[in-house]
């Protein structure tokens, strides 16, 4: 009998050890391939580094933290499949993704699976207007971005504005918001409002049509691959109209696609770039990232993904739980002014980040992104 009791106790101990050794899985969904691949690949680097740092301090609730990554390809259909795969892998939460229409394709999958989702670049307003309990984001919303965009256009002295979008959830939403604000600004006129098809290689036809409307400036609300082409092709047409871009144009690849000469003078809205983050935490993180990967992160959206990782692991540590309802309640009601890499983070009842985040940048003649005063 004693021997049987000893064996039973030993087995209980062994099983307990196995369970204790089970890793805490944090999902990451991002565009590892496709036209936004540089964003997704850097998101993964940031998440992997933060997991490594957390594990060096003992992990999470005594468990090793593992990042489980899935590629959404920057495509809604691929994103739905990626979300379904992640939802079956025992993840506690998922960080991502970058594009709003891509995020929207995965939202309900995570919500139905009761998995916390913290988006990093999906700024479309309607994403947080659905009442989804488990959806949060570390990036701001497009109504805030539109407000800063309209203020910037007015401050720069432009009166006749063309607005160009690409019909995606993010770009069309931002264009509509900006149009409404600019039309309500005294002395401002919207002389052109149309869409391009993303992924095309020649935009000279719509550039020619837009030029005929004689705008003082163009507000482009699409993504950086198309912005780079538009800048290059308008230069080839000898059309020197200033362009202002939304935050999805913030990527160094824009300059590679456009060329330095064509990109010079381009304005865009963005959360502060990694190099402009002021906190000591952010500086230490940038140094650690540079040491591991050989260069600092280029994208603020990768750092915003890092803030998503830090927020959810903090919530798990504070609640001592991986229960999605407890975590959602903590994020909605308890976390206040969390010291994120991109600034203080709190969430409202919709899961939106609270506070002003956007800044204005200009591309200089050397292709560098310079923060405007």
Alpha-carbon distance of 166 to 309, in angstroms, equals 30
How much is the pLDDT for 4?
42
How much is the pLDDT for 239?
98
How much is the pLDDT for 355?
85
How much is the pLDDT for 308?
98
How much is the pLDDT for 316?
97
CA atoms within 13 A on the CB side of 245: 29
How much is the pLDDT for 372?
93
The packing angle between helices 169-183 and 142-155, to 10°, is 50
How much is the pLDDT for 22?
85
How much is the pLDDT for 14?
42
User: Which pair of structure tokens corresponds to residue 160?
Assistant: 């006749």
Alpha-carbon distance of 149 to 364, in angstroms, equals 19
How much is the pLDDT for 12?
41
Residue 147: burial class (beta carbons within 10 Å; 0-12, 13-18, 19+): middle
Between β-strands 189-195 and 217-220, what pairing exists: parallel, antiparallel or unpaired? unpaired
Task: For the chain, 373 residues long, give each residue's pLDDT as a single digit of tens.
Answer: 444 444 444 444 444 443 355 899 999 999 999 999 999 999 999 999 999 999 999 999 999 999 999 999 999 999 999 999 999 999 999 999 999 999 999 999 999 999 999 999 999 999 999 999 999 999 999 999 999 999 999 999 999 999 999 999 999 999 999 999 999 999 999 999 999 999 999 999 999 999 999 999 999 999 999 999 999 999 999 999 999 999 999 999 999 999 999 999 999 999 999 999 988 999 999 999 999 999 999 999 999 999 999 999 999 999 999 999 999 999 999 999 999 999 999 999 999 999 888 999 999 999 999 999 8
Of 132, 1, 118, 4, the residue nearest 50 (C-alpha): 118
How much is the pLDDT for 21?
58
């Amino acid at each position: 009998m004693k021997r049987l009791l000893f064996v039973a106790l030993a087995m209980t101990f062994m099983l307990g050890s196995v369970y204790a050794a089970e890793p805490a899985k944090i999902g990451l969904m991002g565009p590892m391939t496709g036209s936004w691949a540089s964003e997704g690949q850097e998101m993964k680097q940031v998440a992997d580094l933060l997991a490594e740092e957390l594990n060096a301090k003992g992990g999470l609730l005594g468990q090793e933290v593992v990042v489980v990554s899935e590629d959404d390809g920057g495509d809604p259909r691929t994103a739905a499949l990626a979300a379904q795969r992640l939802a079956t892998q025992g993840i506690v939460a998922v960080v991502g993704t970058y594009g709003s229409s891509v995020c929207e394709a995965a939202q309900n999958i995570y919500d139905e699976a009761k998995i916390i989702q913290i988006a990093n670049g999906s700024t479309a307003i309607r994403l947080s207007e659905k009442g989804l309990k488990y959806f949060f984001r570390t990036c701001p919303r497009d109504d805030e971005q539109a407000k800063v965009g309209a203020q910037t256009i007015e401050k720069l002295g432009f009166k006749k504005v063309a607005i160009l979008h690409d019909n995606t959830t993010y770009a069309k939403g931002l264009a509509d918001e900006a149009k409404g604000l600019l039309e309500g600004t005294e002395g401002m006129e919207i002389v052109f409002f149309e869409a391009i098809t993303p992924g095309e290689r020649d935009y000279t036809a719509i550039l020619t049509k837009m030029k005929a409307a004689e705008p003082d400036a163009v507000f482009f609300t699409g993504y950086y691959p198309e912005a780079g082409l538009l800048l290059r092709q308008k230069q080839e047409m000898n059309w020197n109209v200033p362009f202002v871009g939304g935050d999805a144009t913030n990527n160094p690849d824009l300059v590679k696609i456009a060329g330095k000469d064509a990109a010079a003078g381009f304005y865009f809205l963005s959360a502060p770039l990694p190099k402009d983050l002021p906190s000591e935490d952010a500086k230490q993180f940038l140094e650690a990232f540079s040491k591991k990967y050989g260069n600092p992160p280029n994208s603020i959206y990768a750092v915003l993904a890092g803030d998503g990782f830090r927020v959810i692991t903090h919530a798990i540590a504070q609640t001592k739980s991986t229960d999605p309802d407890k975590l959602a309640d903590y994020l909605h009601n308890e976390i206040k002014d969390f010291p994120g890499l991109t600034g203080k983070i709190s969430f409202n009842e919709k899961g939106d980040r609270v506070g002003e985040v956007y800044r204005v940048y200009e591309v200089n003649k050397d292709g560098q992104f310079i923060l405007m005063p």
